[in-house]
Structure 1
Amino acid sequence: MLGPLFVSSALILVTAILAFVSEHHAAFAQPAPPTDRPTGILSAKDRRVRVSSDKWPWSAIGRINVVAGTYRGHCTGTLIGPRHVLTAAHCLFNTRINNWVKPSSIHFVVGQIRDKFLGHSLAESFLTSPQFKYKLEDRPRYDFFDPKMIKRDWAILTLRDALGVKPIPVQAVDSAGLLAAVNSGELALAGYAADRPYVLSVHRGCTAAINPFEPRVITHKCDNAPGESGGPLLLLRDGGAVVVGLHSANFQRFESQVGYRAVVGAAASATEFEAAAKSVQR
């Protein structure tokens, strides 16, 4: 999870998104209390629960571990094919060297439950959007994330080894389709959070909407924590599951002498990466 998204170069976009959030999400949860650092807990109570990773669809979600020299980091990824994993692009960028990490430094562990797991593999290569700009010179500030990049914050890993775990398909939905799907099914965000690093956390029954000011960004009220970047926004319905979005960051409000208050989560819509997911698996 990244830090606050209030940046001067995208002030109009941020203001429009927050206005939309106030209208469409405010009724679903009490405001989050202020904290001394950015967080992804979006209401007065943390609604995430631990789940066992031995049953689908949770079995297709795993930890992405990145080890590059002295750099250590982890995010969340979803198996969308035997050798392909969907995650957030920023998870594969090493700010210390201002460049992408090497594929060989990426290790995916699927279905992890503490010291047990269903499979693992190093990455062979990865694909990102050519429009995703994340170098230091492309950011409003080194620790800020340009909101215009959220929709492009996706990556697809190709693993060295095929994993024998049932994947989760990717399915793009438009605004009306997302609303209908949420009304008839259930939305969930899953991830390996830093406060529960080896057990999958899931917030089920959270709300989401496609923002008309940035139609390839899904704003959501799914609680999350650092480490859940790249986690799938899942539509659960009739015993099935599809990835409709990819968690990227959280919008924050900051007040001097009060602290940060998480407002809403932001995810890249599957509309942005569905074609790429199909292409790499041909």
Structure 2
Amino acid sequence: MRQAGWFWVVCMVLAIFFPEGAVAQEQKPTAQFVPALNAMCGSGQELATGCEEVKARRIVDAAAYPWSAIGQINFSAYRVRRYCTGALIGERLVLTAAHCLYAGGTIGWVRPQALHFLAGYQRGGYSAHSTGTRVFLPEDRNGGNGPLRYDPGEDWAILELSEPIGRQVGYLGVFAPGKGELKAALAEGGRIAVAGYPRIRQHVLSVEENCGMAHYLKNNEVLAHECAVMSGDSGGPILLMEGGKVSVIAVHSGAGVTQDSFIRLATPAARMIEAVAKLRGEPGERKALLGRAPGERSKGEAK
């Protein structure tokens, strides 16, 4: 769902977060060079040889849990067709990036009823499908009115579905670790992972299961990670994998290139876990919400 224009928006944001590094630009691109695509892959190579990190991600069985809880959010209108990645975090709740639900132009924020979530999407098929009924955004988004104000610290949205397909395909837990908790989890063998539908392989779900490290920026408002991502992965879950336990700890927002590095940014789960708990009927101060495998029934979630 990301366009080339989004790359430059993200780069401007990165200039604010990382003022010491100006955005690098190719002055004379070759015929095969696509700046937005290659930059989002962390590559300055020709398209034929770029994006190798993303291509190296493992293609998984999208029908098998926990991957069955991840899918594509699709939107189409006259001469417009876009998609992002999203993850079920409740029977009817899909977590994604706020900017994924904004089409700009005369459309603006997309109506929930026009959004289609395909759980376990793989090569044209899927495990379950539902359209949306409501969208929940951060408080400063004014209920989806007005233009998008991109902020990787608040780039999350929850799409409520018309059907409880999470009962069929399962849904993921949500964990909001503090800086010390995340460091300890990684030291004890936990792994940071990403799952999504990158534009270069948009019809298969691919996963990098050991991205390396992750750390918080800007007073813990943003999570910087090292996962191989590109356009199409927006809204996808950044996962903490601890043995057989898989939890969403952030939502991938965007990436860009500075003079010195390729930076990937995500919105931490702490920014939305209170809203998720309330929608699941599990209010209160929580750092973790459990997931459910297919067929299991939630004890606390409102039907």
What residue number does 1:157 align with?
Answer: 159
Residue 193, structure 1, aligned to residue 202, structure 2: no
For 1:262 and 1:162, locate their aligned partners in 2 and report how far apart those are by CA, in whole Å: 42
In structure 2, the residue corresponding to 1:90 is in which secondary structure? helix
Greater fraction of residues in strand: 1
Cα distance change on mapping 1:253 and 1:13 into 2, 3 Å: closer
TM-aligned CA distance change 1:159 to 1:215, over 3 Å: same
1:143 alignment partner in structure 2: none
Compute the displacement of 1:176 (Å): 1.5
Counterpart position of 1:242: 247
The answer on 1:130 being equivalent to 2:132 is no
Tell me what 1:30 maps to: none
SS at match of 2:170: coil
Q: CA deviation at 1:219?
A: 0.4
Distance change (3 Å), C-alpha of 1:70 and 1:262: farther
Question: What's 1:274 paired with?
Answer: 273
Q: Is it true that 1:15 corresponds to 2:19 in the alignment?
A: yes
Give the equivalent residue in structure 2 for 1:223.
Answer: 228
Secondary structure of the structure 2 residue equivalent to 1:244? strand
Q: Judge conservation of contact 2:99–2:148 (CA < 8 Å) in 1.
A: no
Write the mapping of 1:68-79 to structure 2, written as runs, cut at 5 A.
68-79=77-88
Task: Find the aligned partners of 1:107 and 1:197 in 2 and give their Cα distance.
Answer: 16
Q: Is the 8 A contact 2:217 2:224 kept in 1?
A: no
For 1:165 and 1:54, the matched residues in 2 are separated by 8
Structure 2: gaps (5+ residues):
23-32, 44-50, 282-303
Mapping of 1:138-149 within 5 angstroms? Answer: 146=150, 149=151
Indicate the RMSD between aligned Cα atoms, in angstroms.
2.7
The residue aligned with 1:168 is 172
8 A Cα contact 1:250 1:263, kept in partner: yes
Structure 1 alignment gaps of length 5 or more: 20-34, 140-145, 255-260
Query: Is 1:51 the counterpart of 2:53 in the alignment?
Result: no
- Say if 1:177 and 1:102 are closer, same or farther in 2 by CA, change over 3 A: same
C-alpha distance 15-123 of structure 1, shift in aligned 2 (>3 A)? same
Aligned to 2:109: 100
Does residue 251 of the first structure (1) align with residue 256 of the second (2)? Answer: yes
For residue 253 of structure 1, report the CA deviation from its aligned partner. Answer: 2.8
Aligned length, in residue pairs = 252
Match of 2:258, SS state, is strand
Cα distance in 2 for residues equivalent to 1:214 and 1:251 = 20
Instruction: State the partner residue of 2:35.
Output: 37
Report percent identity of matched pairs.
Answer: 32
Deviation at 1:138, TM superposition (A): 6.5
Structure 2 length as normaliser, TM-score?
0.75
**Could you say which residue in structure 1 is the equivalent of 2:207?**
202
2:86 is the counterpart of 1:87: no
Match of 2:100, SS state, is helix
8 Å CA contact 1:132–1:153 kept in 2: the answer is no
8 Å contact from structure 1 (residues 109, 120) kept in 2: yes
Cα distance change on mapping 1:166 and 1:210 into 2, 3 Å: same
1:209–1:187: structure 2 CA closer, same or farther, 3 Å change rule? closer
Cα gap change, 1:274 to 1:205, in 2 (>3 Å): same
Are 2:214 and 2:226, in contact at CA under 8 Å, matched by a contact in 1? no
SS at match of 1:179: helix
Amino acid at match of 1:182: L
Offset, 1:185: 1.2
